[in-house]
Each structure stands twice: as C-alpha cells, then as structure tokens.
Amino acid sequence: MLKDRIAFVTGGTGAVGAAIVRCLAGHGARVAFSYHSQPEKAQELERELTAAGRSVRAFSLNVVDAAQVALVAATVEREFGAVDILVNNAGATQVMPFALLEEEDWDRVMAVNVKGPFLVTKAFVRPMIRRQRGAIVNLGSLAGMRVLEVPVHYATAKSAMVGFTLSLARELARYRIRVNAVVPGLLTDGVSAHVPEKQRLDYEGHCTLGRAGRPEEVAEVVAFLASERSSYMNAQAVHIDGGI
Ligand SMILES: NC(=O)c1ccc[n+]([C@@H]2O[C@H](COP(=O)([O-])OP(=O)(O)OC[C@H]3O[C@@H](n4cnc5c(N)ncnc54)[C@H](OP(=O)(O)O)[C@@H]3O)[C@@H](O)[C@H]2O)c1
C-alpha cells in the first residue's frame, strides 16, 4: 500500500508512534521517525525493523525547537529522500485539575501539541509543495471533541489540531497535498497510562465495543489516510474510539 513512499513520524518512541512506524514500514514505506527523551527505545525500534528487512531511521528531535526541526527536515531529505507522508504524532499531557494549572504547564502542553505540529509541518511541507504531492496525518484526541474529564490544557491543544487540519487541508489542496486527522478515544497505553481506573471503567462502560483501543488500531487508519487508498478523503477528523 505504501511501497517506495517516504514517511516522517514524530514521537516514534511512544505507544502510538511506535505502532505507526511499524505499520507504515509493514506496508512498505521507508520510515524516518523522531524521538525526544528515549534514544534507547528509538534504537531498539530501528534495530527491530531493520532486522525485519525494513528501511527505518531514528532522529533526535525536540518538536518545539524550530532550529532543530529545520535541521532534521533537511537531514531526512538529504539522507533518506523527499518525504511524501508526514505524521504529526508527538504529544504530551499532564493530569492536573484546571485550578492547579500553572502558566508553564499550559505553555508546555500547548507547545508540544500545537506549536510542534506547526513547526514540523512548516519544515516538511515545502518539498511537498515543490513536488506537488503529499499526505499529512495529524493526531487529535477525543479529549478535544467530547465532554470528558480530561486535562483542560490537553483538550484545548487537541481540539486545535482539528482546526489546524481543516484550514491546512483547504490551503494545501491546490498543491495536491491532503491533510487529515485521526481522533482516538481512550487507548490501552501511552498518554492515557495515567488515566484513573474509575475513568477507564466509565469509558469502557459507555463505549459500544466495551474496551479501550490499541495503538495498532490507530496506526492502521493512519496508514490508510497516508496512502492513495484514501485519495478522496481530505480535511477529515476520523474518530477511532470504539463508538462512544
Ligand atoms: N494514548 C491515548 O490514549 C491517546 C488517545 C488520543 C490521542 N492520543 C495522541 O496520540 C499521540 C501519541 O501519544 P501516545 O499515547 O503514544 O503518547 P506517549 O506514549 O507518551 O508518546 C509521546 C511521544 O511524543 C514524544 N514527545 C514528547 N514530547 C516531545 C517533544 N517536546 N519533542 C518531540 N517529541 C516529543 C515522545 O518522545 P520520547 O518518548 O522519546 O520522549 C513520545 O515518542 C499524541 O498526539 C496523543 O495526544 C493518544
């Protein structure tokens, strides 16, 4: 499905990011991915997939550092090739009641989840515009779309990814670049690892499929949106939440 495509995935060391890297590579793409604080995990993933005959490379990157983003984008293009697929996956949250949030908590969560995708997309979109092709997939969250007991700064940042997706899709369509988002519900792992048991049970009770989702189930939809099989899909926010 993605043979000879070149992809860049941010946050490949996370639960969802690693699943996306594995899935894109499994569908035949050559995948560059970024890590931030976990170089060992990145190397492990690189080794695992290389041993399986896939073409995968890890790059160190803080998505809120514009100079680093520009450098990594240039290095990926030089050493790996022009990127056809960008997945803005890196994200961060913090479990904290609104009244206790400090300004720096707000700034950090907004920076990683919103400024990061802005900087990364800006750096990777120019070659896509030049080549008049590309697919961008952003990670939203049900936290930003429903009335849920979730951290307010995280919900705010994640709903911003939908606006980002819609307006970017409109603007980039003229260059034949499609932009979509996935909106996962509660997953078994990753940023939801610290969700209190009571809330997890509540989610599972309201979800038609009666369980949390798996990162691999999100990754399959990302791969589909990144591929030509979804050629008539643009500006969509696809919910992957088990029906809730
Ligand atoms: N898990 C869920 O239930 C769920 C539900 C809805 C949406 N999502 C979305 O899915 C995406 C991935 O989340 P996850 O659950 O896989 O979380 P995770 O396991 O905590 O992974 C987060 C990833 O983001 C990277 N990262 C964090 N801060 C960064 C920074 N400043 N610069 C660059 N990379 C940074 C981390 O890198 P290091 O590990 O190397 O530091 C890691 O690879 C997020 O956008 C999240 O909002 C998750």
- Residue 194's pLDDT is 85
Q: Residue 134 and residue 93: Cα distance in Å, rounded?
A: 29
Cα(144) to ligand 1 centroid in Å equals 15
Query: How confident is the model at residue 102, as a pLDDT?
Result: 98
SS (H, E, C) the chain: CCCCCEEEECCCCCHHHHHHHHHHHHCCCEEEEEECCCHHHHHHHHHHHHHCCCCEEEEECCCCCHHHHHHHHHHHHHHCCCCCEEEECCCCCCCCCHHHCCHHHHHHHHHHHHHHHHHHHHHHHHHHHHHCCEEEEEECCHHHCCCCCCCHHHHHHHHHHHHHHHHHHHHHHHHCEEEEEEEECCECCHHHHHCCHHHHHHHHHHCCCCCCECHHHHHHHHHHHHCHHHCCCCCCEEEECCCC
The response to whether residue 213 sits with its C-beta less than 6 Å from ligand 1 reads no
Domains and CATH numbers, the chain: 6-240 (3.40.50.720)
Known catalytic residue at 232: no
Q: What string of pLDDT tens digits covers the 244 residues of the chain?
A: 999 999 999 999 999 999 999 999 999 999 999 999 999 999 999 999 999 999 999 999 999 999 999 999 999 999 999 999 999 999 999 999 999 999 999 999 999 999 999 999 999 999 999 999 999 999 999 999 999 999 999 999 999 999 999 999 999 999 999 999 999 999 999 999 889 999 999 999 999 999 999 999 999 999 999 999 999 999 999 999 999 9
Does ligand 1 lie within 6 Å of residue 62's CB atom?
Answer: yes
Q: Is residue 120 within 6 Å of ligand 1 at its C-beta?
A: no
Closest-CA residue, ligand 1 atom 36, reads 11
- Residue 73 backbone phi and psi in degrees, to 5: -60, -45
Strands 85-88 and 6-9: parallel
How many angstroms separate the CA atoms of 77 and 121, rounded? 14
